[in-house]
Amino acid sequence: MARKKLNIGLIGYGFMGRAHSNAYAQVNKFFDLGYEPVLKAACARKEDKLKPFAENWGWESMESDWRKLIARDDIDVVDISVPNNLHRDIAVAAAQAGKMILCEKPLAMNAAEGLEMTEAVEKAGVANMVWFNYRRVPAISLAKQLIDEGRLGRIFHYRAKYLQDWTINENVPLGGQTLWRLDIDAAGSGVTGDLLAHSIDTAIWLIGGVDKVCGMTETFVKERELQDQPGVRMPVGIDDACAFLAKFKNGALSTFESTRYARGRKNQNTFEVNGEHGSLYFDLEDAHQLQYYDNRLDSHVHGWQTILVTDFEHPYMNKYWVPGCTIGYEHTFINALADFIKGLDTGVPVRPNFRDALETQRVCDAALKSAKTEKWEKVQG
């Protein structure tokens, strides 16, 4: 089938630059879509670093200033894969230039910036998506399907954890090209925006909006050496760990916990949902499985069942291999991109869009505020 061209301009060649480049190259190998992404231009400040990346992934051209990339007539979609402090300026400029936007999470440094971005894309009427890729893990999409089918009934509880351990060593420096996540001015927050934003997006998608939160944060290592200036030390402004209680609008009680100090946990992203008729449990470290407890079965066969989410009837899986064969982390980005392009094909816009990500940002802001005020905080908006 003849596909229309979708010219992509990618900003940032790091972790997400690679994940997205792979998705552009692979998406129509597995999905049969109306648009073909063209790797038109990649942008980063340093040409010597960008060049091997661009050659490896097949980007046709390079730019060293994102403003020039946005000004190009041959770019349809701007992909924001840079640290969080750049999201707002790039997104607002891209929207004003009439470009479609694919933005990495968290949407922004805070909800005020996120609102500006959301209003800019809505005013411009441009297609927009935020890469909350975990929605596209087939087992999580299946959890959404089971909840929407009413299999859990009324939801009482949601319990989310997102745990890592890579900043325990106090000699890990701060800032610079690779450790901007530890720099409050580049990241906006610590684990709250980096990790809990994922957990919150998944939770809102699965069970609905959050009414209020009560949280606490801690910064275990108070001062670190700057990566770019050895010998110079700076106070650490990010939250190393964050835990909060949340009351959902539907009345569900919930807990969220995240840290980079859980020794042995590399990227453990879990949730459990408890409803009137059943429960679900997911762990990213066993990403192809969904645990399901169905209380409506006869009582002598009650028990948790493990659904191996690899069958053709499971979300996305009929696009890949035969039942029993698993897919990986990178496929969640391919699935997200396929959904974005399907939205262009059908005219039904993809979710999560900027407004959805703004809702998540507001929960992050409320959790951080509550940690300061030591009080329950309403989620704004």
**Site residues for ligand NAD per CB under 6 A:** 11-17, 43-45, 66, 81-84, 86, 104-105, 131, 133, 178, 194
Residue 160 CB, shortest distance to ligand NAD, in Å, is 15
Q: Rank residues 95 and 137 by Cβ distance to ligand NAD and give the closer one.
A: 137
Residue 145 CB, shortest distance to ligand NAD, in Å, is 22
Beta-strand relationship, 77-80 and 100-103: parallel
Residue 231 CB, shortest distance to ligand NAD, in Å, is 23
Q: Rank residues 44 and 121 by Cβ distance to ligand NAD and give the closer one.
A: 44
Is residue 336 within 8 Å of 133, Cβ to Cβ? yes
| Closest chain position to ligand NAD (CB) | 14
- The rounded distance, in Å, linking the Cα atoms of 325 and 238 is 40
Q: Rank residues 226 and 245 by Cβ distance to ligand NAD and give the closer one.
A: 226
Residue 373 CB, shortest distance to ligand NAD, in Å, is 26
Q: Rank residues 66 and 281 by Cβ distance to ligand NAD and give the closer one.
A: 66
DSSP letter assigned to residue 267? S
Residue 117 CB, shortest distance to ligand NAD, in Å, is 13
Is residue 379 within 8 Å of 128, Cβ to Cβ? no
Residue 39 CB, shortest distance to ligand NAD, in Å, is 15
Residue 155 CB, shortest distance to ligand NAD, in Å, is 25
Q: Rank residues 11 and 147 by Cβ distance to ligand NAD and give the closer one.
A: 11
| Residue 66 burial class via C-beta count within 10 angstroms: exposed 0-12, middle 13-18, buried 19 and up | buried
Q: Rank residues 15 and 312 by Cβ distance to ligand NAD and give the closer one.
A: 15
Neighbours of 71 (CB within 10 A): 12
Residues 6 or more apart whose Cβ sits within 8 Å of residue 58: 21, 25, 39
Give me the DSSP letters along 5-46: EEEEEEE--SHHHHHHHHHHHHHHHHS--SEEEEEEEEE-S-
Q: Rank residues 82 and 344 by Cβ distance to ligand NAD and give the closer one.
A: 82
- The rounded distance, in Å, linking the Cα atoms of 108 and 84 is 6
Neighbours of 374 (CB within 10 A): 9
Q: Rank residues 104 and 183 by Cβ distance to ligand NAD and give the closer one.
A: 104
Q: Rank residues 180 and 248 by Cβ distance to ligand NAD and give the closer one.
A: 180
Residues 6 or more apart whose Cβ sits within 8 Å of residue 89: none
- The rounded distance, in Å, linking the Cα atoms of 9 and 11 is 7
CA-CA-CA-CA dihedral for 368, 371, 377, 380, to nearest 10: -10
Neighbours of 97 (CB within 10 A): 17
Ramachandran angles phi, psi of 34, nearest 5°:
-80, -15
